[in-house]
Structure 1
Amino acid sequence: MRLMLALALSGLALSMPIAALAKTDLAAAVAAPKRPADARALDESRKPAETLAFLGLKPGMQAADIMTGSGYWAEIMADAVGPKGKVTGFEPSQFYASEEEKPKWAALVARRPEVDWVRYPFEAFAAAADSFDFTIINLSYHDLYWQSDKFGIPRTDPDAFVKTLYAATKPGGIVGIIDHAGPAGDTRAVVDKLHRIDPAVVKADFLRAGFVLEAQSPLLANPADDHSKLVFDPAIRGKTDRFLYRFRKPK
C-alpha cells in the first residue's frame, strides 16, 4: 500500500508543470514558521510567492537581496533556494547604525545564519563578477538618486551601481526590480520629494548597462494611486502603484 501511494505521489509530481512545483516551493517558503509577524503582515500587499514566481527564483540559485532592509525578501528566498542555493543580503552600512537600530540587525543575522549578510557603503556597492543567478531590489532602487545628510548618504552614481550589478550577474541571470511608480521630471527632485521614480528611468538605466527587459507585470499595480503623494503618506503607504520588471543579462 505504501509503495503504491509513493508511486502515485511521484507520478503526480512528474505530471505537475515545473512552474506549478516552483510556486508550491515558494508558497512553502512564505509560510515558513520562522518568519516574524511584522514580515507576514506585509505579504498581502507584496504578494511574495507570485512575485518571485514571475521573476523566476528557483531552488539551487545563488541569489542576492540588495538593500535588504528588514530582510523580508532574503528570508523568504533563503528557504526557496534550499540547501543547494545561497542568499546574500546586502545592507548599506549607513543603516542600522544607531545604538537603537543595531540590535534589530543583530537579531536578523542571528535568526538567519544561513544567509550571508554583507554591509557596504551605500555609495560603493561591490560584488565579485558572475556571483548571482538572481537579484531582487525591492522599493529601493530609487534611493540611488537620493542623498541625505541625516543618514550620511552622498550623491551616488546609479550608472556605476548598475554596471557593477551587471558584472556580478551571471550570464543568463535575472534582476528583479520593484519600485514605487513616480511622475516624469527631474529624477533626483522627484525622488527627494516623493521617494518614487519614473519607470522609464529604471528601464533606461538597466538597458544602458546591457540588461534586457524580459518581462513586466501589473501584479503590484494600483491604478488608484496618482503618483502625487509621498510614499510614506498614511493615505497611500503600503498601497502605492508599483512596477515589477524582470531584467536578464544575455548569455
Structure 2
Amino acid sequence: MTEETGKVLVSASNEVIDAAVKNPLRGDAANRDMYRHPAETLKFFGLKPDMTVVEILPGGGWYTSIINPVVTMNGQFYAAHFHPYEGAPGYYARSLNGFKEEAKTNALYKGLKITEFHHLKAHDIAPEGSADMVLTFRNVHNWYMGDGDAGVDGAFKAFNKALKKGGILGVVEHRMPESQDQVENKNSGYMKQSYVIAAAEKAGFELLESSEINANAKDTADHPKGVWTLPPRLANGDVDKAKYVAIGESDRMTLKFVKK
C-alpha cells in the first residue's frame, strides 16, 4: 500500500465515522457528544469499516449505535454484554435482555452479534484471535472496584485472547491524578493512567499512543461521591449542582494499545 493510498483509506474511514455520529437516528444520545467526542475518539483508535470490532459492556448502546453502522457492511461488531452468572446482580440480566430486545428493532444495531463478558467468569467475547479492535469505555474502574488487580488482569487477558496479533485495544477511562493514592481512592471511579498502562502491558499489550481528546482540566477527581458527583449522574443532587455542571463530565485518559 502506498502512502497516498493509505491516506485515501483513512479519509474514507473518517467520513463513514462522521456520518455515523451525525445519524439522526441516534436521537438524544448525541447530546453527550460534546463530552465524549465519539468521532475524534474512534478516529484516534483507527476504526475502519472492514474491521471486526468488540465493544466491552456496551450498556445501553451509546457507542454501539455509532460503531456498528461503521462496520456493519464490510466488518463485524460484537457487543460483549453482561454475563448473568448465578448470583450476579439482577441488573446484569435486565440490561442484557433489554439490549437483546433493542437489537431486534433498532436499525443502528443491524447485523451485530451479542456475546457475554465478565472479567473473571466469561472471556469468550469473540472467536479467539479474530478481532481487529477491542474497545472499552469507562469500565476499568468497575473491575478494580469489584475484584482489585485480579479483576483488571482478567479483563485485559480476555481482550488479548480475542484480538489478532497486531490488533488494537482502545481504552477510555476516568483519570485519577498520579499524586492521588489508587488504593485509598479505590471506590472513587477514577483510575491512574500509569496503572491502566501497566495492566495492559502485563497482559501482552504495548502502548502506541495516548490522547487528550477526552481530557477535562476542570476535573480534580476529588468529589464527595466520586466520579458520579459529576454529570451525567450528578449523584449529589441539588447540592452544589451548578458547580458540578460547570465542571462537566470527568477527565478521561484515552489510550491506544497494540497486541504484541
Range of TM-score over shorter length: 0.7 to 0.9
Could you list the per-position Cα deviations for residues 42-76 of structure 1 after superposition, in whole angstroms to 9, with x for gaps in the alignment? 21111111110000000110001001111111221
| Cα distance in structure 1, aligned partners of 2:90 and 2:131 | 24
Which of the pair is proportionally richer in helix?
Answer: 2
Letter in 2 for 1:140: N
**TM-score scaled to structure 1, two decimals?**
0.81
| Cα distance in structure 1, aligned partners of 2:100 and 2:6 | 44
Q: For 1:83, what is the secondary structure of its paired residue?
A: coil
Partner of 1:134: 133
1:209 is aligned to 2:203: yes
| Cα distance in structure 2, aligned partners of 1:66 and 1:188 | 24
| Cα distance in structure 2, aligned partners of 1:15 and 1:205 | 32
Residue 81 of structure 1 and its aligned partner are, at CA, apart by 1.4
1:91 is aligned to 2:81: yes
Structure 1: gaps (5+ residues): 1-13, 148-153
Which of 121, 124, 130 is equivalent to 2:121? 124
Q: For 2:48, what is the secondary structure of its paired residue?
A: coil
Cα distance change of structure 1 residues 238 and 71 upon mapping to structure 2, 3 Å threshold: farther
Contact 1:231 1:240 survives alignment (8 Å): yes
1:190 is aligned to 2:185: yes
Partner of 2:170: 176
Q: For 2:201, what is the secondary structure of its paired residue?
A: helix
**TM-score scaled to structure 2, two decimals?**
0.79
Residue 32 of structure 1 and its aligned partner are, at CA, apart by 2.2
Q: For 1:52, what is the secondary structure of its paired residue?
A: helix
Residue 97 of structure 1 and its aligned partner are, at CA, apart by 4.1
Residue 25 of structure 1 and its aligned partner are, at CA, apart by 0.8
Letter in 2 for 1:78: N
Partner of 2:35: 45
Letter in 1 for 2:189: H
| Cα distance in structure 2, aligned partners of 1:134 and 1:45 | 23
| Cα distance in structure 1, aligned partners of 2:122 and 2:41 | 25
Letter in 2 for 1:81: V
Q: For 2:185, what is the secondary structure of its paired residue?
A: helix
Letter in 2 for 1:61: M
Identity of aligned residues (%): 25
Residue 123 of structure 1 and its aligned partner are, at CA, apart by 3.1
CA RMSD of aligned residues (A): 2.6
Partner of 1:227: 221
